[in-house]
Amino acid sequence: EGNLTVQELADRLGVESSEIIKSLFFKGIIATVTQTLDLHTIETVSEEFGVPVLQDDIEAAAKKTVEMIEESDMAHLIRRPPVVTVMGHVDHGKTSLLDAIRKTRVAAGEAGGITQHIGAYQVDVPHGDEHRKITFLDTPGHEAFTAMRARGTKVTDVAVLVVAADDGVRPQTLEAISHARAAEVPIVVAINKIDKEGAQPDRVKQELSGLDLVAEDWGGNTVMVPVSAIKGENIDKLLEMILLVTEVEDLQANPDRMARGTVIEAHLDKAKGPVATLLIQNGTLKAGDVLAAGPILGKVRAMVDDTGKRVKQAGPSSAVEALGFSEVPTAGDEFEVYTDEKSARAVVGDRATEARATRLAQQMASRRVSLASMS
């Protein structure tokens, strides 16, 4: 059960994270700053630094985000690609930008560059002497964030905020900023439509600076890239900047474990049955795996990747469309793979009971309210 990261604990105790790492080292635990610690470890380390830990405090922090990385993953962590959501006001060019980014894979000569729509896709980006991947969620960013917020799941690592240079900051721009801030996700601004006659990128920068998003070239620390989604201008630069921004986040996952992640999209297909796009956030998902997505059981019958290719497995930060669920799972729900059907069933059973209890409590509460309002 994940609670606080090493960094969060260090902040709480008012010591350097290296002090915590050292203390853990002497307990035989090799830790990184982003690593999540269990309750027992937090208590032990806190006592060592002479700070009593408030149980409520830890629980509150734990509720904030559902951690995908567990202590047992620590020895197996490797870098994983960042997962990006594109947000912004209607008509500012979110869809066009996602299309333009998707097209860069054709340019890069990647096989199957033309994608089928599965709700997410990956692109390869040159980075120094190597290539790095970035995963883009293709679902409307606002919905993804709302679902995330409701469940406390952290799905995206960066939000790309699209602002049209000929229109500036609008209501949904503000909404997008508040979503990203609530989720504590860094924002990269794409100032779009710079090809248009009435484009005023500096006006956009000025409006954003009033919202505490100050461009780097204006002395702030928000990355802003002027782009034209339609002309494909500066898309490479935007991708490069996304990598740069996420580099400091030290994004990691353990590919050598059973997969867990989040349902990105799901629907009922007449021929195939329930179809779900799964974002793998930790571990590797394999064909034949038994899983539970929220209260829904499944056994992966087949998977296709974002190029429409049948795949046998999928690693951290990749998305696949999977067949084999008993019912249509809910977008935003977490999924997790289990060793066998029996253990998956047990978890799902507990969840169903829990859901029933919550529903019942809600019904009773609303009945109380209506009775109260009658008297």
Question: Footprint of Mg ion on this chain (CB under 5 A)?
Answer: 94-95
Q: Which is nearer to ligand GDP, 237 or 351 (CB)?
A: 237
Question: Closest separation between CB of residue 193 and ligand GDP, Å?
Answer: 4
306 is in an annotated binding site: no
201 is in an annotated binding site: no
212 is in an annotated binding site: no
Beta bridge partners of 246: none
Q: Which is nearer to ligand GDP, 21 or 159 (CB)?
A: 159
Q: How far apart are CA 371 and CA 369, in angstroms?
A: 5
- Those residues with Cβ within 8 angstroms of residue 288's Cβ, 6 or more apart along the chain or in another chain: 299, 300
Question: Closest separation between CB of residue 230 and ligand GDP, Å?
Answer: 4
Q: Which is nearer to ligand GDP, 91 or 236 (CB)?
A: 91
89 is in an annotated binding site: yes
Instruction: Give the Cβ contact number of residue 348 at 10 Å.
Output: 21
95 is in an annotated binding site: yes
State the binding partner of 262 from Mg ion, ligand GDP, none, CB within 5 to 8 A by kind.
none
Q: Which is nearer to ligand GDP, 71 or 166 (CB)?
A: 166
- Where are the alpha helices (H) located in 14-54, listed in sequence order? 17-25, 39-48
CA atoms within 13 A on the CB side of 177: 17
DSSP calls for 123-169: EEEEETTEEEEEEEE-S-HHHHHHHHHHHTB---SEEEEEEETTT--
Query: Kind and range of the H or E element at 262?
Result: strand 260-269
**Ramachandran region, residue 8 (left: φ > 0; alpha: ψ -120 to 50; beta: rest):** alpha
Q: Which is nearer to Mg ion, 80 or 94 (CB)?
A: 94
**117: three-class secondary structure by DSSP:** coil
State the binding partner of 90 from ligand GDP, Mg ion, none, CB within 5 to 8 A by kind.
ligand GDP
Question: Closest separation between CB of residue 227 and ligand GDP, Å?
Answer: 7
* Token output for 370: 């209506």
63 is in an annotated binding site: no
CB burial string 212-229: b at 16+ within 10 A, e below: ebbbeeeeeebbbbbbbb
- Those residues with Cβ within 8 angstroms of residue 181's Cβ, 6 or more apart along the chain or in another chain: none
Q: How far apart are CA 28 and CA 43, in angstroms?
A: 16
Cα four-point dihedral sign 151, 157, 163, 169: positive
Question: Closest separation between CB of residue 225 and ligand GDP, Å?
Answer: 12
Question: Closest separation between CB of residue 110 and ligand GDP, Å?
Answer: 23
Question: Closest separation between CB of residue 201 and ligand GDP, Å?
Answer: 12
Q: Which is nearer to Mg ion, 80 or 89 (CB)?
A: 89
Q: Which is nearer to Mg ion, 94 or 205 (CB)?
A: 94
Question: Footprint of ligand GDP on this chain (CB under 6 A)?
Answer: 88, 90-96, 192-193, 195-196, 228-230
State the binding partner of 195 from ligand GDP, Mg ion, none, CB within 5 to 8 A by kind.
ligand GDP
194 is in an annotated binding site: yes
92 is in an annotated binding site: yes
82 is in an annotated binding site: no
Question: Closest separation between CB of residue 186 and Mg ion, Å?
Answer: 23
Angle at 37 between CA 155 and CA 54, to 5 degrees: 105
Annotated binding-site residues for GTP read 88-95, 138-142, 192-195
